[in-house]
């Protein structure tokens, strides 16, 4: 927890307003119903941004968007990202008036909210380097050695969905990923993660489709 608190202070400053927003975000990411969209995921996305950060135009906005991108999470794709963007609109004006935020380039609330919304479909426009970096960092989990644990955690977050319906929906998600020409938009991310991510996604899809109905 202290590592994230320190990362937030480095990004947003140590004013009372920044401290309050940071505490709220950490509390949201700690909600007990979460299984994958947890503090560990936030740490992973922030870490994945670092090898790509040199590509960004506004690295502070990208990091702020990482903090906000799943701050609201109810398991409703699209709706969660929209509510998270609205949260950024609500909370960030408290910070952008500070000298620290102005110096760091974190002054564009609209930019942060736009980036948060992009994580719903991971489809930034060509040339949107900030969007590409955030989306690539959010999908870095696909390449990880902990992919099986990630897949189990996703199932836990959708434990209210019957098995057959979950397998069908999850299979569509994975098929859509594999149909993309590339999973990652930036060259460094492709070099780091593309091959491993495709292997992992293929393996999960094969396991899902091999299960008989009702199991």
Confidence (pLDDT) at 196: 98
Confidence (pLDDT) at 173: 94
- pLDDT tens over the chain, length 215 residues: 569 999 999 999 888 999 999 999 999 999 999 999 999 999 999 999 999 999 999 999 999 999 999 999 998 889 999 999 999 999 998 776 553 444 444 448 999 999 999 999 999 999 999 999 999 999 999 999 999 999 999 999 999 899 999 999 999 999 999 999 999 999 999 999 999 999 999 999 999 988 666 54
Confidence (pLDDT) at 214: 56
Angle at 158 between CA 196 and CA 23, to 5 degrees: 85
Give 106: exposed, middle or buried? Use CB within 10 Å, 0-12, 13-18, 19+: buried
How far, in Å, CA of 44 to CA of 149, rounded? 14
Q: What is the DSSP letter of 214?
A: T
Are 144 and 48 spatial neighbours (Cβ–Cβ below 8 Å)?
Answer: no
Using the structure block, give the residue that is written with the tokens 């090898």. 51
Are 114 and 165 spatial neighbours (Cβ–Cβ below 8 Å)?
Answer: no
Confidence (pLDDT) at 100: 42
The token duo for 154 is 């996703």
For the entire predicted model, the pTM comes to: 0.91
Q: In degrees to the nearest 10, what's the CA dihedral of 149, 158, 68, 137?
A: 40
Q: In degrees to the nearest 10, what's the CA dihedral of 171, 173, 174, 176?
A: 120
**CB count in 10 Å sphere of residue 75:** 16
| CA 16 from centroid of its chain's CA atoms | 26
How far, in Å, CA of 123 to CA of 138, rounded? 12
Confidence (pLDDT) at 106: 45
Give 50: exposed, middle or buried? Use CB within 10 Å, 0-12, 13-18, 19+: exposed
Confidence (pLDDT) at 96: 64
Are 118 and 131 spatial neighbours (Cβ–Cβ below 8 Å)?
Answer: yes
The token duo for 72 is 């609201």
């Amino acid at each position: 927890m202290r590592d994230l608190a320190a990362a937030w202070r480095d990004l947003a400053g140590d004013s009372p307003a920044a401290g309050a927003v940071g505490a709220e975000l950490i509390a949201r990411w700690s909600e007990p119903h979460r299984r994958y969209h947890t503090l560990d995921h936030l740490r992973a996305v922030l870490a994945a941004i670092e090898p790509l950060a040199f590509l960004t135009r506004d690295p502070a906005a990208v990091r702020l968007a990482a903090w906000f991108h799943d701050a609201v999470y109810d398991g409703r794709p699209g709706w969660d990202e929209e509510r998270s963007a609205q949260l950024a609109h609500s909370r960030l004006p408290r910070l952008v008036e500070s000298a620290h935020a102005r110096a760091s380039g974190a002054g564009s609330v609209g930019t942060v909210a736009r980036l948060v919304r992009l994580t719903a479909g991971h489809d930034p426009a060509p040339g949107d380097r900030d969007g590409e970096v955030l989306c690539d960092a959010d999908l870095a989990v696909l390449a990880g050695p902990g992919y099986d644990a990630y897949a189990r955690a996703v199932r836990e977050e959708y434990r209210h969905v019957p098995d057959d319906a979950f397998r069908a929906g999850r299979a569509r998600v994975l098929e859509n990923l594999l149909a993309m020409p590339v999973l990652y938009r930036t060259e460094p991310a492709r070099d780091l993660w593309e091959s491993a991510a495709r292997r992992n996604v293929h393996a999960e899809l094969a396991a899902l489709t091999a299960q008989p109905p009702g199991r």
